[in-house]
Structure 1
Amino acid sequence: MVPDELDVLERHPKTSEPGELMRPHNMTCFGCGPESPHGLHLEMYAGEGFSVDAKMPVQQWMEGGPGVIHGGILSSAFDDVMGMTPRLIGPAAVTAHLQVDFLQPIPVGKTLHLHAEILGKQRRKIYVEGVAHLGDPERPVARANGLFVQIDVRAHFADHVENSAKAAEYLGGKPQL
């Protein structure tokens, strides 16, 4: 639930322009990393205002029930697209809560369109909603709501940085831990 008292949102001056491809969270991110060997490889585009858009071909390896996407894959896609929206306003943020409503089965072989938009911000908390459709925005197949919390990247990942082959790139150079 989005609180009543919200901060004024301003687009970060260094963020992607509307229609521009956004850089991945990191090169091996499961959702958007081009070097992730088993990832979704989402390409996300900055939208108008405080929104992000992506398209995802629903491939055979994503199958859960017969002929339809696995709910965990859909949840991962929402998490990544919704998690990209904080970049539009400033510091990095991580998922604190994600709720997905599965409205109808999503067939393998279709292209899923994902849209995420910031609803508001209160201090470090960013409230985001997402919607997915198969080409007609008026006929959503899934919806999501999430809470993302802005972090200090170096401090947040300090205990785990040695587990990542690409941590230095993600943290902007060799981390000094």
Structure 2
Amino acid sequence: MAEQKRMEEFLKFSVEETYNEQKNITNGLLQVRGKSCSFEESSMTFEFPVLPWEENRVGFMHGGVMCTAFDFSMGVLSRFYAGSNWAPTVSIEVKYIRPVDMGDVFVVKCIATATGKRIIQLRGEAYSGKTGKLVATAAAVYMSIDTTTEKRG
């Protein structure tokens, strides 16, 4: 129960940090909402309202923005498991299944599948908030870097 509470607090902190410290960069522009988390499942779920600036040239949510939402979501979960370490993205792969309408909500559930000392592997599923249908999946790898012994970047 203590670990679940710690995860809930980290989810809340991460979303608040995005609004307070990253409001004018990509993460803040996404207007993310933390929906839920489960320490038992090693998962976090986020909601991203599909905004006008995210529209592609044919009127749907841009695939690059979908990838960014996955990276944000899985990045938060990887940082939870990395603790005080820095956890940059090593790789991310997105599979697009169906388009997401403007005005919808892009719902991302990410699950940590391996949380080693150095490498954190995750998978993600994204759903339409309106229809509940699966719209994309992702897989990513993050590296936990101890910044007290290694230089960042």
TM superposition score category, shorter chain reference: 0.7 to 0.9
CA contact (8 A) 1:60 1:108 kept: yes
Q: TM-score, normalised by structure 2?
A: 0.78
Aligned to 1:37: 24
Per-residue deviation at 1:87? 3.4
Q: Which runs of 5+ in 1 are unaligned?
A: 1-10, 160-177
The equivalent position to 1:83 in structure 2, one of 75, 100, 115, is 75
The CA deviation at 1:113 is: 0.9
Q: 1:47 aligns with which of 21, 29, 37?
A: 37
Higher strand share: 2
CA RMSD of aligned residues (A): 2.8
Q: Contact 1:15–1:87 at 8 Å: present in 2 too?
A: no
Amino acid at match of 2:98: Q
Larger Rg over CA atoms: 1
Hey, what does 1:167 align to over in structure 2? none
Quote how far apart the aligned CAs of 1:25 are: 7.7
2:88 aligned residue: 94
Deviates more, 1:42-51 or 1:68-77: 42-51
Name the % identity: 24
Matched residue SS, 2:38: coil
What is the distance in 2 between the residues matched to 1:56 and 1:13?
23
Q: Which residue of 2 aligns with 1:146?
A: 140
Aligned match for 2:8, one of 17, 27, 35: 17
**Larger helix percent:** 2
**TM score, norm. by length of structure 1:** 0.68
Q: Structure 1 CA distance, aligned partners of 2:120 and 2:63?
A: 24
